Amino acid sequence: DQQVKQNSPSLSVQEGRISILNCDYTNSMFDYFLWYKKYPAEGPTFLISISSIKDKNEDGRFTVFLNKSAKHLSLHIVPSQPGDSAVYFCAATNSGNTPLVFGKGTRLSVIA
């Protein structure tokens, strides 16, 4: 019973183009969403987050969009760079002291 789903295991994008990574969730109690990036042989690092009171959050080349009615969020990377090649994990939580629930990850490859 996956509460956070990343249905694309992998994505390949040309350098300079937009990368769009998708994430769906089933638990309507989730009110805070995060994206983590992971390089091989390293731990995940926090990238960007969004609260359920917003529908968009931007940080440089990274923008996260939240569609609460569809229980869907997406991460946009513009322009994509070879250094963005990594596994991206979507995560969600509800208010209070509950652990993050992670998706299975999407491997992004940015081709020069």
Partner 1 sequence: DVKVTQSSRYLVKRTGEKVFLECVQDMDHENMFWYRQDPGLGLRLIYFSYDVKMKEKGDIPEGYSVSREKKERFSLILESASTNQTSMYLCASSLPHRRAQETQYFGPGTRLLVL
Considering beta carbons, is residue 10 or 14 the nearer one to partner 1?
10
Min. distance of Cβ 58 from partner 1 in angstroms? 17
Per CB under 8 A, contacts with partner 1 among 17-46 are 32, 34, 36, 41-46
| Paired strand residues for 15 | none
Task: Please identify, among the stretches 13-21, 52-60, 76-84, 85-93, the one whose residues bind partner 1 according to the rule CB under 8 A.
Answer: 85-93
- What are the angstrom distances between the C-alpha of 104 and each of 5, 24, 66, 85? 7, 11, 19, 16
CA dist., res. 78 & res. 27, Å (int): 29
Instruction: Tell me which of 61, 79, 100, 109 binds partner 1, using CB under 8 A.
Output: 100
Our finding on whether 53 is near partner 1 (CB under 8 A) is no
Which residues would be at the binding site for partner 1 (CB under 8 A)? 6, 9, 32, 34, 36, 41-46, 49, 51, 89, 91, 93, 95-97, 99-100, 102-105
